[in-house]
Amino acid sequence: MQSGNNATTGQALGKNSLPSRIPHSLPWALLATSIWLSPPCAARQLNGHELLEDTKLYFTAPIRWDKNDWLYFGETIVAIGVAHEYDDNVRAHFASGSSATLNGEDPNSQRHAVPAAAMVVGTWAFAALLDDADGYEEGREMLEAAGFSAISTTLLKFAAGRKRPNETTQVDEWFQGGDSFPSMHVSVTFAIGAVLAESGGDKYRWVRRTLGYGLASATAYARIHDNVHWLSDTIAGAALGIATARFTMDRGEARAQRSVFMVVPANGGVMLTYTGTLH
C-alpha cells in the first residue's frame, strides 16, 4: 500500500484508501497515550479503575452536557463555519512557491510538535526542581488531555476524510480518504497548553496563559503557514483541545476533593482516618 504522502496518492485517494492515511495521525495517538499511561514515578498514577472511569466519562460526556457545554459546542460549530468560509483565501495567501506543490508532504511535522513537548518537559522539570507534587500532577493531566485529544482527533479524521491543502485546492473535498480535519498538532498542543494556562494559582496566571495559549496559537499558525492544514482544521483542533483540557482538570479536581475513610492498624487496636478537602 502506498503512503498517503506520495504525490500520486495525494491526488487520487478515494474513500476506499482511508487506511493509507493512518501514518499521518496514529503515531500521535500512540505516543501520547503510551506516555500518559506511564508518567514519572513521582506523579500519582491513575489506577485501572480511575483510568477506565475517565475514559468512559470522556467519550460519553455529551449525554451529560449542561447549557454551558452546549453553548460552547454551538459557538465552536459557528467558529468552524466562519473559518471555513475563509479557508480558500487563507490558503491562497500562504500557498506560494514550494508550499503550493500538491504533494501531500509535511516536512516540518516533528518540529511543530516541539512546543507541546516543551510544555510537558518544562512542567516536570520545575516539579522536580521544586519537589512539587502538584507540578507532577499537572504534568500528568497534560498527558491525559493530550492522549484523549489525540484519540478523538484520529477518530474525527477518519470520519471527515478531508484532504489537506497541500493535496488539493478544493476546500470541500470531504470523505475522500484525507486526514486534514481536525489538526492533530493543534488539538494536542491546545490540550496541553490549556492545562498549563489554567492550572496552579492566580499569581502568575498571565504568564501561564501567555505561554500555554501563545505556544498553541503559534503551532496553529505554523500548520497554516506550511499549507498542511486549512484554517478551519486548526479552529476545530483548538476547540477540541481546550474542551479536553477542561474535562481532564475537572476530573483531577474531583479526585483531589474526594473524601476517603480508612481503617488502619494502631497501637492497641485500629484507627479510623479521614482524608478530604475542607472548605
Indicate whether 2 belongs to any domain.
no
Task: Flag whether pLDDT at 91 surpasses 90.
Answer: yes
Please give the grid coordinates belonging to residue 264: 488502619
Query: How many independent structural domains does the chain possess?
Result: 1
State the chain's mean pLDDT as an integer: 83
Instruction: Reply yes or no: is the peptide bond before residue 182 cis, omega within 30 of 0.
Output: yes
Phi, psi of 269 (to 5 degrees): 165, -140
**209 or 21: which leads in pLDDT:** 209
**CA–CA dist 252, 34 (Å, integer):** 19
Give the tens place of pLDDT for each residue, 114-153. 999 999 999 999 999 999 989 999 999 999 999 999 999 9
**253 or 7: which leads in pLDDT:** 253
Whole-model pTM: value is 0.81
Residue 264 host element (H or E): strand 260-266
Can you say whether residue 97 is alpha, beta or left, with left for phi > 0 and alpha for psi between -120 and 50 degrees?
left
**CA–CA dist 214, 208 (Å, integer):** 9
Indicate whether 128 belongs to any domain.
yes
The mean pLDDT of 49-74, rounded to a whole number, is 94
Lowest mean pLDDT among 20-24, 74-78, 182-186: 20-24
Indicate whether 1 belongs to any domain.
no
Indicate whether 104 belongs to any domain.
yes
**134 or 193: which leads in pLDDT:** 193
Can you say whether residue 132 is alpha, beta or left, with left for phi > 0 and alpha for psi between -120 and 50 degrees?
beta
The mean pLDDT of 154-174, rounded to a whole number, is 96
Indicate whether 69 belongs to any domain.
yes
Q: pLDDT at position 17, please?
A: 43
Helices and strands, number each (H, E), in the chain = 11, 2
Domain span at residue 51 reads: 7-275
Indicate whether 58 belongs to any domain.
yes
